[in-house]
Amino acid sequence: MSKIGLFFGPEKGSVHRVAEKVKAAIGADLVEMVLVHDASAADLEKYDKIIFGISTVGKETWDSEYSNTDWAKFFPEISKVDYSEKTLAIFGLGDHITYPAHFVNAMGRLYREIKSATPEAKVVAPVDPSVYEFEESDAVVDGMFVGLPVDEDFEPEMTDERVAAWSAEVKSAFGL
């Protein structure tokens, strides 16, 4: 069985901690962690099953002309890949108190980048937004979050349960 690529960033923060939880829930022996800071399209091509872990850094950062984040550097690589034979899942961190009108928007941006590269891309394990408090999110598509929202700033006590439930869905969708 081939490994699952878990592409995440930034390192040594909330996304990294949640990525480690996802890896443990899926099966540590099945997942290879890949920092997006060091990754390229060639790295994405190595995997048939990919999990992306992204943080939302605030609308002002995404809207700025220059962004020095790991993901801003990695986004051009995403559009170079054909995802038609891959199965993908996304989790994203956000802050529903400080950014209620932009909650986990980065997940939505990532989803759209993937779908722009490969419209038929299979992104699995959507999450019902009704159990979250927020005003608006670019990550809600067709009435569902495109992946797992996590708020480590204001709801860290919910992370383990959310990761466990979502990871079970991902495992099923990945045929594990």
Q: Which token pair is 138?
A: 């670019």
Residue 18 class from Cβ within 10 Å (0-12 exposed, 13-18 middle, 19+ buried)?
buried
Phi, psi of 16 (to 5 degrees): -65, -45
User: Strand 122-123 and strand 4-8: pairing?
Assistant: unpaired
Contact 159/21 with Cβ under 8 angstroms?
yes
**Higher-confidence residue: 50 or 68?**
50
Residue identified by tokens 């995997």 is 47
The pLDDT of residue 73 is 84
The pairing of strands 148-150 and 87-93 is parallel
Residue from 86, 107, 87 nearest 18 by CA: 107
In DSSP terms, 7 is beta-bridged to 34, 52
Query: How far does CA 98 lie from the centroid of its chain?
Result: 20
Please tell me the number of Cα atoms within 13 Å of 170 on its side-chain side. 30
pLDDT digits (tens, 9 = 90+) for 137-150: 999 999 999 999 99
Count of domains for the chain: 1
pLDDT in tens, 114-144: 999 999 999 999 999 999 999 989 999 999 9
Chain mean pLDDT for the chain: 90
The CATH number linked to 28 is 3.40.50.360
Q: Give the torsion sign (CA, 114, 118, 121, 126).
A: positive
Measured between alpha carbons, how far is 131 from 152 in angstroms, rounded to an integer?
A: 16
**Above 50 in pLDDT, residue 66?**
no
Enclosing domain of residue 139? 4-173
